[in-house]
Amino acid sequence: MKIGKGTNLPKIYVTWPHQVKVGNNCIIEHGVYFHYDGIYSQGPSIIIGDHVFIGNNTEFNITNKISIGNHSLIAAGCRFVDHNHGTEKKTLIRNQVAPKYEIILEKDVWLGCNVVVLKGVCIGEGAVIAAGSVVVKSIPAYEIWGGVPAKFIKKRM
C-alpha cells in the first residue's frame, strides 16, 4: 500500500494492499474498507489524490479501477461499486460475467453521507452530491445532484 506524506491511517480494512494508493495530506477516518474484489493483478486500482477526506465506514468495492481527485470530500458511509452481475435468465446470476467500468471523481468533488456511486460514473470537477443519493450516470462539473437515482438540482454559483 502506498501512503503519501502527512496521511495517517486509523484502523481500516484492506484486502489487497498493493491495489491502494493514497496521496499526501489525506484524512481517512476509521472503518474505511478498501476491497479489491478480484484476483491478483498489478496495481494500484484504488487511487486517492492529495488532500482528500474519506469519512468513516466508506467502502470501495472495486474490480476495475477508481480514482478520486485532489481536494475531494467523501462523507461517512459512502459506497463505490464498479461492477455488478449479469441478468440473463438462462444462467445462474452468480455464474455470469460481471460487467465492470471505472469510476472517476474529478478534483474538488463533495459527496454527502451514504452516497452510492455505481460503475462507469464520472463525477465532474466541483460537483456536489446530496446525502443518500445513488449515482448511476455521469455528472457534469459544478452541478448539484441528489436523489435515488440522483437527478440534477442546480448549478453551483
The pLDDT profile of the chain, 157 residues, written as one tens digit per residue, is 999 999 989 999 999 999 999 999 999 999 999 999 877 788 899 999 999 999 999 999 999 999 999 999 999 999 999 999 888 899 999 899 888 999 999 999 999 999 999 999 999 999 999 999 999 999 999 999 999 999 999 999 8
Q: Which three cell numbers stand for residue 42?
A: 498489478
- Separation CA 148–CA 133 (nearest Å): 5
pLDDT of residue 1: 93
pLDDT of residue 97: 85
pLDDT of residue 22: 98
Q: Indicate the pTM of the whole model.
A: 0.93
71 as an active site residue: the answer is yes
Work out the angle at residue 137's Cα, subtended by the Cα atoms of residues 79 and 103, and round it to the nearest 5 degrees: 50
Domains of the chain as residue ranges with CATH = 2-155 (2.160.10.10)
Work out the angle at residue 103's Cα, subtended by the Cα atoms of residues 77 and 18, and round it to the nearest 5 degrees: 80
- Separation CA 100–CA 118 (nearest Å): 10
Q: Which of 30, 35, 71, 83 is catalytic?
A: 71
pLDDT of residue 98: 83
